[in-house]
Amino acid sequence: MYHTGEKPFSCDLCPKRFTEKGHLVVHLRRHTGEKPYTCDVCKMRFTLKGHLVGHMRTHTGEKPFKCDICKMCFAQKKTLVDHVRTHTGEKPFKCDTCKMRFTKKFHLVAHLRRHTGEKPYTCDVCKMRFTVKGALVRHMRTHTGEKPFKCDICKMRFTLKDSLVKHIRTHTGEKPHTCDVCSKAFSLISNFKRHKTICKTI
């Protein structure tokens, strides 16, 4: 069937067709929401066994996929593929509307919603809507008060990972943003951008 292009297995809920019954079974879970694979550690559920296998590495710390360029290691192959594009500059996903290009398909999908106005993720508490699931997850913490990101140095906790990263720099003194005009360095990108608007040194 791969060679003939025949797709005899059709979804009753949408127009999609498949070459193998197993592919149809997996696809149907998108409609039903079925997640038959459960993590024994945290009870998180998954549609595909491969997704569970990849998730388990967040518990074991295993990172079998290594970047040949910088030797950084990753738990999932897809994450490695995305990472390699930071070295190559490849942006294979293009918006047909405005021609912007992206390194990740996820970023393209989220971008397209800016054109369509689609916001498929809704907060059950306040009904606020979001274009991406991650934004909804972060928003929900304003209701729950959850602060999952903890500083290993002072034990302070944060709602957002980005806030933790910024906070850690108060301990390490790291200043990753450097002005190419005067060489002054900043720990926060907001301060760096503000500086760039006023720096006139030649």
Show the CA angle centred on residue 31, arms to residues 25 and 37, nearest 5°. 60
The answer to whether the beta carbons of residues 182 and 201 sit under 8 Å apart is: yes
Domain residue ranges of the chain, discontinuous segments joined by +: 9-60, 65-116, 135-172
pLDDT band at 3 (very low <50, low <70, confident <90, very high): low
Amino acid type, 134: G
End-to-end CA, the chain: 66
| Superfamily (CATH) of domain 135-172 | Classic Zinc Finger (3.30.160.60)
The per-residue pLDDT for 202 is 47
pLDDT in tens, 123-147: 999 999 999 988 999 999 999 999 9
Q: Is CATH 3.30.160.60 the right assignment for the domain spanning 9-60?
A: yes
**C-alpha closest to that of 70 among 84, 89, 82:** 84
> Is the confidence at residue 121, as pLDDT, over 60?
yes
pLDDT band at 201 (very low <50, low <70, confident <90, very high): low
> Which pTM does this prediction carry?
0.53
pLDDT in tens, 160-191: 988 999 999 999 999 988 998 999 999 888 89
> Is the confidence at residue 200, as pLDDT, over 90?
no
pLDDT in tens, 43-84: 899 998 988 998 999 899 999 999 999 999 999 898 999 999
H, E, C per residue of the chain: CCCCCCCCEECCCCCCEECCHHHHHHHHHHHHCCCCEECCCCCCEECCHHHHHHHHHHHHCCCCEECCCCCCEECCHHHHHHHHHHHHCCCCEECCCCCCEECCHHHHHHHHHHHHCCCCEECCCCCCEECCHHHHHHHHHHHHCCCCEECCCCCCEECCHHHHHHHHHHHHCCCCEECCCCCCEECCHHHHHHHHHHCCCC
Q: Same CATH fold, 135-172 and 9-60? A: yes
pLDDT band at 4 (very low <50, low <70, confident <90, very high): low
Q: Is CATH 3.40.50.1110 the right assignment for the domain spanning 65-116?
A: no
pLDDT band at 8 (very low <50, low <70, confident <90, very high): confident
The per-residue pLDDT for 40 is 92
Give me 79's structure tokens.
């994450």
The per-residue pLDDT for 141 is 93
Give me 55's structure tokens.
């998730």
The per-residue pLDDT for 101 is 95
